[in-house]
């Protein structure tokens, strides 16, 4: 709150202050821990993982934004004068407890269960319509009566019921879903289930608005952790291009929340690039022992000695996201010398055009276990009029020209 006090006013740009960014980072760290615990060892698509991470980061920032804005309302006394710092600090202590203890605990628990449901949904989509889905509560005395009414609701995975009433249906909701065999449980009436779900997510506040309507969403289908209509966001968020991560909106309404969201998304892009660069460097460091490895292979009737180079290793790392995606994992890179030793020579291919990097020919070796090819480059070096050939691993690919 020091940043708020020194700024004397709260504007969207305050989200860029060091102290506020630190609070956003800590909030994100706690909620991300909940997401990771929810996903656990389940396999989810990369696109979903990135989307869930983005949603968690933006929610963290908007939550802090709400906290900071509420703190800003306590800057001045009854006469409109700026309060002494200690008095201001005392006044915002309750805000800190509410946001960073109560709300954060509720958000953490919700993140766990929402991530669990997103991971389950990814599994349901992979399995198609082989099973029915069944809604289940925790079946104890703490279950809300409205949620208990949904217990054992059994419907196909493509039923519209799951678009709105996939758990969790409230803060601290512990309900879940499971796959069941169609012949073992009777299928519920979809229309009746929709009515029960509507009642379970209905609580009209003093302002006439339904407080629980925001929980009518499917975390896995929408690829978000937190309800799109939560109090940290604006009514525009669920349909905003920025919120849906397709692109940064060219123009946004002049609301403070929207401006803050734009700044948060720019911050998220920086965070992503920084994390990607650190991840890349970590793997390149782990690949350094390859620079001292040599692999002798038969290639077209002659034996060649293949080495690894720093530049080639960078190509190899990049190929795990492109030409070898899904076949070569980043964690496999450190053992490429062993994989190359076990590979089989397929063919060599001279170049039709001169290259600036000195490569004159490529040799292709097929992985012994995967539909994967190692691309070995031949370079010719001249020293004091004497030519010598050197061979190094250049890249990997999932297919080659016949």
What does the domain layout of the chain look like in residue ranges? 2-125+220-280, 128-201, 287-397
What is the crossing angle of helices 85-97 and 46-72, to 10°?
Answer: 140
CB 51 within 8 A of CB 245: yes
Q: Is the pLDDT of residue 82 over 80?
A: no
Task: Give percent of the chain with pLDDT exceeding 90.
Answer: 55
Q: Using the Cα atoms of residue 49, residue 222, residue 202 and residue 236 in order, give the sign of their dihedral.
A: positive
Q: Is the pLDDT of residue 45 over 50?
A: yes
Q: Tens of pLDDT along 156-192?
A: 999 999 999 999 999 999 999 999 998 899 999 999 9
The predicted pLDDT at position 19 comes to 84
What is the value of pTM for the model shown?
0.77
Per the structure block, which two tokens stand in for 149? Answer: 């009414």
Integer-rounded Cα Rg, in Å, for the chain is 28
**Mean pLDDT to the nearest integer, 47-68:** 91
Rounded CA-CA distance 358/338 in Å is 27
The predicted pLDDT at position 278 comes to 94
Q: Using the Cα atoms of residue 274, residue 280, residue 284 and residue 287 in order, give the sign of their dihedral.
A: positive
Say how many C-beta atoms besides its own lie within 10 A of residue 256's C-beta. 14
Q: Is the pLDDT of residue 240 over 80?
A: no
Give the DSSP per-residue string, 222-271: HT-SS-TT-TTS-TTGGG-TTTTTSS--SS--S-HHHHHHHHHHHHHHHH
The predicted pLDDT at position 235 comes to 62
The predicted pLDDT at position 193 comes to 97
**Mean pLDDT to the nearest integer, 319-337:** 85
């Amino acid at each position: 709150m020091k940043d708020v006090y020194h700024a004397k006013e709260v504007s969207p740009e305050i989200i860029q202050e060091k102290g506020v960014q630190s609070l956003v980072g800590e909030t994100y760290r706690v909620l991300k821990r909940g997401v990771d615990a929810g996903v656990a060892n389940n396999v989810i698509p990369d696109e979903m993982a990135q989307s869930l991470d983005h949603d968690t980061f933006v929610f963290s920032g908007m939550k802090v934004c709400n906290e900071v804005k509420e703190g800003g309302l306590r800057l001045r006394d009854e006469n409109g004068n700026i309060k002494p710092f200690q008095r201001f600090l005392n006044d915002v202590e309750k805000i800190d407890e509410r946001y960073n203890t109560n709300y954060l605990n509720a958000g953490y628990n919700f993140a766990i269960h929402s991530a669990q449901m997103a991971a389950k949904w990814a599994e349901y989509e992979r399995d198609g319509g082989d099973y029915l889905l069944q809604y289940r509560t925790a079946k104890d005395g703490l279950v809300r009566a409205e949620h208990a009414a949904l217990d054992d609701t059994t419907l196909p995975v493509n039923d519209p019921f799951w678009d709105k009433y996939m758990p969790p249906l409230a803060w601290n909701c512990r309900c879940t879903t499971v796959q069941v065999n169609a012949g073992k449980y009777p299928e519920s009436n979809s229309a009746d289930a929709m009515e029960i779900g509507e009642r379970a997510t209905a609580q009209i506040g003093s302002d006439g608005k339904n407080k629980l309507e925001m929980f009518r969403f499917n975390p896995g289908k929408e690829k978000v952790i937190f309800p799109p209509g939560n109090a940290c966001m604006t009514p525009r968020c669920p349909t905003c291009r920025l919120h849906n991560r397709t692109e940064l909106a060219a123009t946004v309404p002049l609301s403070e929340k929207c401006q803050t969201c734009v700044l948060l998304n720019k911050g998220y892009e920086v965070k992503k690039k920084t994390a990607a660069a650190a991840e890349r460097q970590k793997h390149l460091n782990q690949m350094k022992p390859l620079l001292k490895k040599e692999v002798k292979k038969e290639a077209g009737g002659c034996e060649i000695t293949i080495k690894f180079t720093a530049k080639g290793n960078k190509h190899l790392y990049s190929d795990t996201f492109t030409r070898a995606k899904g076949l070569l994992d980043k964690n496999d890179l450190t053992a490429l010398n062993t994989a190359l030793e076990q590979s089989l020579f397929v063919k060599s291919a001279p170049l039709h055009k001169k290259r600036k990097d000195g490569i004159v020919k490529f040799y292709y070796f097929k992985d012994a276990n995967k539909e994967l090819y190692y691309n070995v480059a031949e370079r010719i070096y001249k020293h004091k009029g004497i030519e010598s050939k050197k061979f190094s691993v250049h890249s990997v690919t999932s297919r080659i020209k016949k």
